[in-house]
Chains A and B, each alone.
Chain A
Amino acid sequence: MTLLLDIISTAAILFIVAAGLLAIFGVLKIINFAHGAWLTVGAYCAVVTTELGLNPWFALPLAFILGALLGGLTERFIVRPLYRRPLDAILATWGLGIVIGQLITLWFGRDVHFTTALMQGTVDVLGTSYSFYRLFAVLAALAIGLGFAFLLDGTRLGLSAQAVIMNEALARALGIDTEKVRLATFMAGAGLAALAGVLLAPMTSVDPNMGVPWLTGAFMLVMVAGTSFGALAVACLLFGAAQVVVSTFLSPILGGITVAVLCAITLRIRPKWFARA
């Protein structure tokens, strides 16, 4: 039972981290390598609220707003000028990620920080007592997934975003303000990354490079899932399960690289498998 709950909550956390990356990839067709840095920024929002003795929940809106603002600036001043050179845009986000990491180090030092948990204690799930907080992460992932589903299928902005994902030139020719859709997506994606950072902070330790392994995993998951949130959810469940099993029965260190390795193997043998799912 604990294993099952571990699998579900790990998948949920992977999904929260990867969702923003996937949204940006779908609309802008670039991988935002600053995603890990924004996640770190979010985690440090939790550190700041902890150190100031504020209510830890306050870190959630703070991180989302800060992340969205940073994302908006990045889109406007780094990504948009490189619109016709996507490879350069990707490299630029990578560089930006390094710069943000260094700035955080300058400000907070290299030390590991810990944050106040948003909620404590355990709950009883069918006879197994389990961390309340990890279950909360599952709810958060569900909310994010359903939120995206509603946004894409139920709103005008979502329809415009779908149009840009499918055929940007046509979307523009039909009068959709594609620049606005790109900006909004980038802001939402960055905000989500920072939000993920807050949610992760109590489960791990916070340091300036904490985003890197998450970025790697999320990047591989997005490569496997393409532009579909459904496929992303399935991929997170399957590869998250593998990660938990490997961590539990072999070694946590191997577990840490399981997602990336399995995704690479999937891409090698069945590149279209998830995209169709």
Chain B
Amino acid sequence: MSDAAKLQLNGISSGYGAVDVINEVTLSVRSGEIFALMGKNGMGKTTLLKSILGLIKLTRGSVAVDEKSIAGRKPSELIACGIGYAPQEQPLFQDLSIRDNLRLALTSDRKLAAAQERVYGYFPFLKERLSQKAGTLSGGEQKMLILARALMLQPKLLLIDEISEGLQPSVVSKIADVLKHEAASNGTTILLVEQNLDFALSIADRWAVLKLGAIDDQDTNGPDSRSRVLQHLKI
């Protein structure tokens, strides 16, 4: 991990209509760290990730990756230069096979075999069921496929939206291992949006809490982090 910012948000605002959901968020995620972003339902976590990827237009502020502004870049360009995304809503092509879902993470089939082998290492069950339709996988298996797909292009920056939702504890710890391994072995920077704070704080280097589209609190992960975050997540 270094002090250089992999991802820098400079006072960004964005939303869906007249009102902004995200309000002037400034946040810096350092190269190689796992950064946990928490917050109650509807606080704008998903919206923030979509804004970073350019899936939603910013109304104010700017985003920089590797200290270069990415204003005006298309999502396809950002993803091609190494940003992985594991979305929360409708995250899989239900009627496509596991193979095709994985294929869609890459723009050509040239590096497909190598990328597949890499993610089979994490999730071996995928290999045996390549032609099964994604929609017929169990909820937990779908989550693993979503993460596997995001890892296909060996991203330098990984945006993950509530991957632990509805997972049994052993799968959650499996995913924690995978993310830790990616960060340690590839230097992948991870922005982890989570509701499960035990999971998030078990792997995060730093954390922040989003409230009504703004950063409410943030700190380095430490002994009192759990109680502080819990305080923010109370009703």
A positions within 8 Å CB-CB of B: 156, 159-160, 162-163, 166-167, 169-179
Contact = CB atoms under 8 A, between A and B. Distances in A.
The winner among A169, A171, A173, A179 for most chain B CB atoms within 10 A is A173
B79 A170 contact: no
A167 B104 contact: no
Given A162-B96, A175-B75, A170 B90 contact: yes
Contacts of B76: 172, 175-178
A167 B96 CA distance: 11
Given A159-B104, A175-B76, A170 B55 contact: no
A115 B74 CA distance: 47
A156 B109 contact: yes
Nearest to B78: A175
Contact of A174 (B74, B85, B95, B109): B85
Interface class of chain A by DSSP: helix
Contacts of B202: none
A177 B90 contact: no
Contacts of B74: 177, 179
A175 B79 contact: yes
B232 interface: no
B93 A166 contact: yes
Given A166-B93, A170-B90, A173-B55, A159 B103 contact: yes
Given A159-B100, A163-B104, A175 B93 contact: no
A176 B90 contact: no
Given A173-B75, A177-B74, 7 more contacts: A156-B109, A163-B104, A166-B96, A172-B55, A173-B50, A176-B76, A179-B74
A61 to B, nearest CB: 29
Interface residues of B, number: 26
A175 B80 contact: yes
A-B pairs with lowest CB-CB distance, top 10: A175-B79, A177-B76, A175-B76, A166-B93, A173-B87, A174-B104, A172-B75, A163-B104, A173-B85, A173-B55
B105 interface: yes
Contacts of B53: 173
B91 interface: yes
B107 A175 contact: yes
Contacts of B96: 162-163, 166
Given A174-B79, A175-B79, A169 B104 contact: no
A170 B91 contact: yes
10 contacts: A159-B103, A160-B104, A162-B100, A163-B96, A163-B104, A166-B93, A169-B90, A171-B104, A174-B149, A178-B76
B2 interface: no
Nearest to A162: B96
B227 interface: no
B75 A167 contact: no
A175 B85 CA distance: 9
Interface string B60-103: 00000000000000111011100001010011111110001001
Contacts of A174: 79, 85, 104-105, 149
B108 interface: yes
A36 B55 CA distance: 35
A179 B104 CA distance: 16
Contacts of A159: 100, 103-104
A170 B108 contact: no
A167 B105 CA distance: 14
Contacts of A179: 74
